[in-house]
Structure 1
Amino acid sequence: MENKKQFDQDLFKRVDRTNEQSDNIVRESRTLLQDAFRSLRKNVFVMIAAVVLLVIVLMSIFAPIFSDYTTREQDLNKSLLGPRIPVLENISWLGLDGMETKTFNGNNVETAKQKALLQYKNNEDFISFDVVSEGNGTPNSAKVEATYDKYAASGFENEYFYFGTDRLGRDLWTRTWDGTRVSLLIAVVAALIDLVIGVLYGGIAAYYGGKVDNMMMRFLEIVIGIPNLVVVILMILILEPGLWAIIIALTITGWTSMARIVRGEILKLKGQEFVLAARTLGAPDKRIILRHLIPNVMGLIIVNTMFSIPSAIFFESFLSFIGLGLPSPAASLGTLINDGFAALQTTPSILVFPAVLISLIMIGFNILGDGVRDAFDPRLNKK
């Protein structure tokens, strides 16, 4: 026999509801954007990526402003100084103390030390030696580690260069953040121009259809058929090298993917009842496109824009790396990586910091783009 629990009926109260009350919507209604933001806030990785990107943007804006050095201040006495950061310089394994450590081999310890002294111009007062191996009589069997305090040897023991300096003695901390700002500016402006041109072009072609759509799509196919890299390189060679030359070059063919996406979505929407109702009420074509059709594809537009920004950053860095980017002494992440690649064997820190930054930007925007895409997908946003 089953045990049945007895409940006091006074604990329960019957709720009388009329038919009108039963049809009321108790839950607060939310728009698509509100649902998307709610979904984004629940995604931990997207929030981390957004915070990282926000920090990078803020640093690119304010770090060069509050720096004690300018991007073009040259001093050959400060050439190729290693990274040195207050407090962190006391943690030797981080390598942020400005010291330069190299290994020298010789037939004996004295010979190895002499090689180190020749390397560092006989500045024995600023070199500390650590004997790794005293040798066994065979050639180059002795091994000595020499740690050279280049800051003290150059007379800058009281100065700190967080990312070190380049071969011309310019502060890499200032140049890296300034270059990040330039790269982000180029990418965002190019992406926004692509968005405006692509949305309008694709929207007009899909809405009017027929001959208009046919002619506009044939022109689009011609543009797509031309290799993107060839067009960009030709435009940069024709135009005067500079910031706007790169933006225009990236914009010439960058809008095509946005136009195709918008056209495909509007072709599906223009036969819907709400478009027919707007036409019946006498709404002009401009209003139907801008106020009814485009807002309904805004999710795809935002997602495509999010993915186009890292693509533009990578393309600008590639152009700068091959020597078609900003002219010297202007800095971008691509030019800094190019400078670091030239000094990779002697001073790898010149390459490491801008390479890490561009990697963080690329990964951050891709994670954020994936999150935005999922947030605007109703099938994945059920809760």
Structure 2
Amino acid sequence: MKRRIAILGFGTTGKACYQALKDRYQVYIYDENAEISENLRLTQDRYGEVDYCIKSPGIHPDQEIIRQLEDRKIPIYSDLEVFQKLLDKKIYTIAVTGTNGKTTTSLAIHHILKEAGKRVFLAGNIGRGVFDLMGLLQDGDYLVLECSSFQLKYIQDFHPNIAIITNISQDHLDWHHTVEDYQASKKKITKNQNPEDLCLVNRDDPVSYQTPSLARRESVSSCQEADAYLKDGQMIIHGQVLGPTSNFQLVGDHNMTNLAFALLAAEEVGLPIQDAFRYGASFKAVDHRLQFVAKIDGVAYYNDSKGTNPDSTDVALASFPGHITLIAGGYDKGSSFLPLLEKHKGKISQLIVMGQTKDRWIQEAQEVGLESIHPVSSMEEAVKKAKDLTKEGVVLLSPACASWGAYRNYEERGRDFMDQVKKLEEE
């Protein structure tokens, strides 16, 4: 008799799980927003038949179905957990998490290993479900996984050979409710590591740096000595000066630390560090992360739509000397913008706000003494207002908020911004 599993959520993750498992298991599906045939639908009378569930990141842990399944003591796992349990290939797993920087770090590792001729795959929170790879992976392959807190909260035995924690600050409190739960979920990435594994942490971030792990530990820093660190514009790894950070195509010390994580991971899997450094030099900026869009009348426009929390926007603002017109706002995840505004009020010449958090932005910006504050109702209006107001410096879209509600995701929001800027160019 086939084992019975339930897939909770039928988006990107859920559909990948279903296609990979439908012939091996009796699969039931739960998703209130998808059309599901009756023979596949997870109904209450079928709860007792389920051996375990695979929860998609989009299913909120407060939903009633989660409570009911937990009350029945039916195990609930993320796709990362189940994928690794079922995979019958010997692969090398590099897992990356963090409040900010995990996408850039994951993509940089993938790029460097691919340039070195390795068979390497990229999946996880980055847009491709791990179960899409089930039939592609072979013994000896490398798998880079970008791991969200939503996924890590629901792991039990998930075991990466290299675990990377870029940083841990405050985010997704609408989902986790407490900072402690959010941080604990991130830290679970090291839960099952052993002394043969490697754990990479950020020496500049106390929460990341103090994460426990049985694995060997190495650290990166942008401002103090570590296994990989920056000094006088040079990248230094294990005491060896590799070359100037100006060799790279990214901007900002935060991106240099992301690349340092990638170089340490590449060295761990056997690449000579100078080769890894050379391959890293051809890695380009991630779309929607401090992405240069255009220069109009001497003003540069940057798309940082992936700045979905205050800490991420803090990093973006720190990358410019001043005269910044900041376009911000979006879905309310419960974060305060007051520390961000207080820190950068001298750099922000104009603040343009939109979305669900608009009123909070206005109130907190007034508290710190910002005077040029402009609420708008659309991205088109925001970009036009930015052009009218900005005579020098940069226009920066870095919302410090999620895009949900107005857009399907941060990519769609970033594309809208770029489209509106392109329209300005054509005028």
| TM bucket, shorter chain | under 0.3
Higher strand fraction (1 or 2): 2
Higher helix fraction (1 or 2): 1
Bigger radius of gyration: 1
Normalised to the residue count of structure 2, the TM-score between the two structures is: 0.17
Normalised to the residue count of structure 1, the TM-score between the two structures is: 0.19
